[in-house]
Amino acid sequence: MFRPLFTFTTAMVMSVACLAQPSRHVILISIDGLRPEFYLDSQYPTPNLQHLKNGGLYALKMKSVFPSYTYPSHVAMLTGAMPARSGIYYNAPVGSTGNWNWFLKDIKVPTVWQALKAKGLTTSAVQWPVSVGEGIDYSIPEIWDDKHAEDRISESRKYATKGLVEEIEQNATGKLNGENMSEEFVSMDTNAGRMAAYIFKTYKPHFLALHFACVDGAEHGVGREGEEVTLALANADNAIGGVLEAVERSGLKDSTTILIVGDHGFMDIHGVLRPNIWLKQNDLLEVAKFQSSGGSAFLYLKNKAALEKVKKILQNLPYSQKKLFSIYDRAKLDEMGADSSAALALAAVPGIVFSGASVNKEGVLLKDELGAASGGHHGYDPNFPEMYTGFIGYGAGINKGTVIPVIGVEDIASLITKLLGVEFKAPDGILLPGIIK
């Protein structure tokens, strides 16, 4: 008689738990470089995004972090913490010559991954930034060999959940290699979508995070608009359709929430500014250096006494150069939740990006602080309209028909955990009212 009583009691507890949480499964899909108009304007080739928008809720804009970069933004989504707290300030560690911030252990605050794991919920990550490490049940993380950066599977295979890539190759994608998992081709997003669809249908994790990178790559290449962007966007949307189909086939549609997010917008660029040339010209590069991050550059000091010298250099620049950026002091950076160890930052005007270069390959000082550039970039002040990214919520627990004026990437963690009925304290984010029923 003991076993039936236990089963009945357990069932009652589970029923209460189900009533207490709006959703049983959450799928978080990030489109790198997503801009709100991609789903607000029906002229874009995104029928799945527009279906989700029309059947759920959406934001007119979502704000990124500063700098508006991929890795700190994605970490903010799953910690509720701005870069100053999370410790992930940029895509790569300061001073890195190749390796990026790939490892979960480098995040300095509690994560959604940890909170869900502590409650016994299963999780999955597919090509998600900063997801290498223990604690994710079904993981195929984003990581690559810096000597072959275009190949996004060979290194990932080494860190993935044992046997998972091979299982997916046998049942969903066919053989994966540096060609069909290359950042240079949209097939990478296609296959990432197939991986996620297979994992969800087969293992039904409570939380799955999926990252599509190819739209970002296209916008870097040609700017905000162009054939390459259209193709990458249409392909990502189609891959989302495959995930939605997997949810349908799994029989879990009614208990699953779909969250579509981006990490930053994009700016068309025409010029590049090299602030480290000014430091080199004044013999300061040994004690001071700017870390370039697209539309921003952060000053690091080995000797704090150099700060006043750098400020004087900036003040004495000709107007033709000073007009290309604003100076954000430490108080401003604190307000924005940016890197707590930088002395100040330069924030470029639209169209200008920064480079950390000061010498050529032969070690000779570059002559021109300002050069030509083309394509697109990000990393700008997240308050620039071009840097706005997007958010859509659909499915279980979502308050259909709601339009949110603005949400922040740091607000996503509280939403995920609330949907799944797990307590989580986001240091900088909130659960915006009106999203959950």
pLDDT the model gives residue 98: 86
pLDDT the model gives residue 217: 98
End-to-end CA separation in angstroms for the chain:
40
Q: Which residues of the chain are in CATH 3.30.1360 domains?
A: 271-373
* Contact criterion met (CB below 8 Å) for 231 and 218: yes
pLDDT per residue over 391-411, tens digit each?
Answer: 999 999 999 999 999 999 999
pLDDT the model gives residue 364: 86
The pair of structure tokens assigned to 306 is 């150099």
CATH class of 21-266+384-419: alpha beta
Q: Mean pLDDT throughout 168-187?
A: 96
* Contact criterion met (CB below 8 Å) for 66 and 336: yes
Q: Which CATH number fits domain 271-373: 3.30.2030, 3.30.1360, 3.40.1800, 3.40.1350?
A: 3.30.1360
Q: Mean pLDDT throughout 17-26?
A: 74
**pLDDT level of residue 210 (50, 70, 90 thresholds):** very high
Full-model pTM:
0.94
pLDDT per residue over 269-307, tens digit each?
Answer: 999 999 999 999 999 999 999 999 999 999 999 999 999
Task: Give burial (CB, 10 Å; 0-12/13-18/19+) of 95.
Answer: exposed
**pLDDT level of residue 11 (50, 70, 90 thresholds):** very low
Say if residue 232's pLDDT is above 80: yes
* Average pLDDT across the chain, whole number: 95
pLDDT the model gives residue 97: 82
Region for residue 294 given its phi and psi (left: phi exceeds 0; alpha: psi -120 to 50; beta: otherwise):
left
pLDDT the model gives residue 41: 98
The pair of structure tokens assigned to 210 is 């999926």
Q: Mean pLDDT throughout 164-182?
A: 98
Q: Which residues of the chain are in CATH 3.40.720.10 domains?
A: 21-266+384-419
pLDDT per residue over 102-154, tens digit each?
Answer: 999 999 999 999 999 999 999 999 999 999 999 999 999 999 999 999 999 99
Higher pLDDT, 366 or 378: 378
**pLDDT level of residue 20 (50, 70, 90 thresholds):** low
**How many angstroms separate the CA atoms of 423 and 107, rounded?**
19
pLDDT the model gives residue 7: 36
Helix (H) or strand (E) holding 77: helix 70-77
Say if residue 259's pLDDT is above 90: yes
**How many angstroms separate the CA atoms of 162 and 140, rounded?**
10
pLDDT the model gives residue 2: 31
Q: Mean pLDDT throughout 90-97?
A: 92
Say if residue 13's pLDDT is above 80: no
pLDDT the model gives residue 360: 86
